[in-house]
Amino acid sequence: MAAERPPSEAQWLEVTVMLGILSLGDFVSSHTPQNFLPQAATAPRIPATRLALHHFDASYGLQLGERWPAVRAALLCEQKYGALLNSFASAEHVAQELELHNATDFVSEAARKAQSLLQGSEVGVEKGESVSPEGHGGGRTVTPAGTSPPPAPIGSNIKCYTFPRGDITRFRPAWPDSLGLLSYYLMDAASLLPILALNVQPDDFVLDLCAAPGGKTLALLQTGACGHLAANDVSISRTKRLYQILSSYVPKNVREAVSVTSYDGRDWAELEGGTFHKVLVDVPCTTDRHSVMETDNNIFHRRRTKERQMLPMLQLQLLISGILATKPGGDVVYSTCSLSPLQNEYVIERAIEIAETQFNITTHAEDLSHFRTLFQDTFCFSSDCRLGELVLPHLTANFGPIYFCKLHRA
């Protein structure tokens, strides 16, 4: 298949400044000479975590208003985990043990809820209410006033256990079964939502464009549905961690079928355009929770200012590349672990625009608002996202932030 050619770096920069993702001010100031001068020896060293918090106070304070103090407190407290059950390990007694400790599988619970809501909406249809199936029309699906969108069934083999709201019990570390495969993988449970949104169907060809260290790759394998799975990450050292996760959780015959690569995801379309039914684009971002808590590898470190400022452009390029890698009729899920609209909705809007104007590819963002209904017992959602869904950290449900948005390629 002939690959669609992505724009050059110079063209990207022009497009991004033109579209306002990188303001001219940011662009010019990041190129002025003082940014290349070493810091004066006497200059006070403000830790990157503090810089991150200042930055978030200014931007998220405005964005979230009176909800920001609660989100801020949650970001600064211990996060909650979910235990993604490893279906490749002998896990039956594991589920029993977790349930004994009061943990529940939030994915099955949502599937049950979806089923009963769907039955309810079918009753509604019989009574003559107007409801439409999961939005595949143009633009974001608009629900007629007074009706709620019918929930898409959460058909997944994934099982992920969490403790109830307000319960801050920790999971004990996973243990190996008789074949050495670990029983569960501890992760931010909200990270599973992008995988559930992708809705992998049997035999789908799936691309995980920014895959390392591999939590979501493992979750994709747990669906048991991938016909082929390509897991890519530009970082060779992080790809090694992906291999480690695969060897700790996945039997040899299954992991050998996963194609692991270390390409720059922005070039993917040149290699394999229009090939995949489902593409996950889980981009590098300001990793808000990490940035306020950890000094190591902190994107708010002064020497990484330019890299941080250029993140929306990198994210946009990766998302465009993900769209180009998708077959017509396929889906892309874009996700970040940031609250920033500049890294979330803004990237989606620009990608839809560029896909249309430069590549003649029509995409639209799907309505995922039923996720709020289905998962509201486990996560706190923002109700303000123009496109996609955002899980807000909260002390009673300290997951996220996770933003996810699904694009359907016409």
Ligand X SMILES: C[S@@+](CC[C@H](N)C(=O)[O-])C[C@H]1O[C@@H](n2cnc3c(N)ncnc32)[C@H](O)[C@@H]1O
**How near is the Cβ of 222 to ligand X at its closest, in Å?**
13
DSSP 79: P
Query: Pick from 235, 248, 261, 309: which binds ligand X (CB under 6 A)?
Result: 235
341 binds ligand X (CB under 6 A): no
Eight-class DSSP state of 180: S
DSSP tally for the chain: helices H, then strands E: 16, 13
CB 181, CB 86: distance < 8 Å = yes
Asked if 226 contacts 218 with a C-beta cutoff of 8 angstroms, the reply is no
List 94, 158, 196, 210, residue binding ligand X (CB under 6 A): 210
Q: Does 290 bind ligand X (CB under 6 A)?
A: no
Distance CA 319, CA 348 (A): 8
- Site size for ligand X, by CB under 6 A? 17
> Does residue 212 interact with ligand X by CB under 6 A?
yes
Q: State which residue, 216 or 350, has the beta carbon closest to ligand X.
A: 216
Measure the CA–CA gap between 66 and 70, rounded to whole angstroms: 8
Burial degree of 178 (CB within 10 A; 0-12, 13-18, 19+) = exposed
Strand-strand pairing, 326-336 and 389-392:
unpaired
The residue among 192 and 407 lying less far from ligand X, judged by its C-beta, is: 192
The span of 3-11, 230-238, 293-301, 380-388 binding ligand X (CB under 6 A) equals: 230-238
Q: Which of 285, 337, 380, 405 is catalytic?
A: 337
Among 94, 211, 325, 380, binds ligand X (CB under 6 A): 211
Taking CB under 6 A as the binding criterion, the range among 144-152, 277-285, 291-299, 400-408 that sits at the site for ligand X is 277-285
Cis peptide before 213 (omega within 30 of 0): yes
Active site includes 337? Answer: yes
Q: Is 233 annotated as a binding residue?
A: yes
Element (H, E) at 162: strand 160-162
Q: Annotated binding residues, as ranges?
A: 210-216, 233, 264, 282
Catalytically active residues, by annotation: 337
Which residues lie near ligand X (CB under 6 A)? 210-216, 233-235, 238, 264-266, 282-284
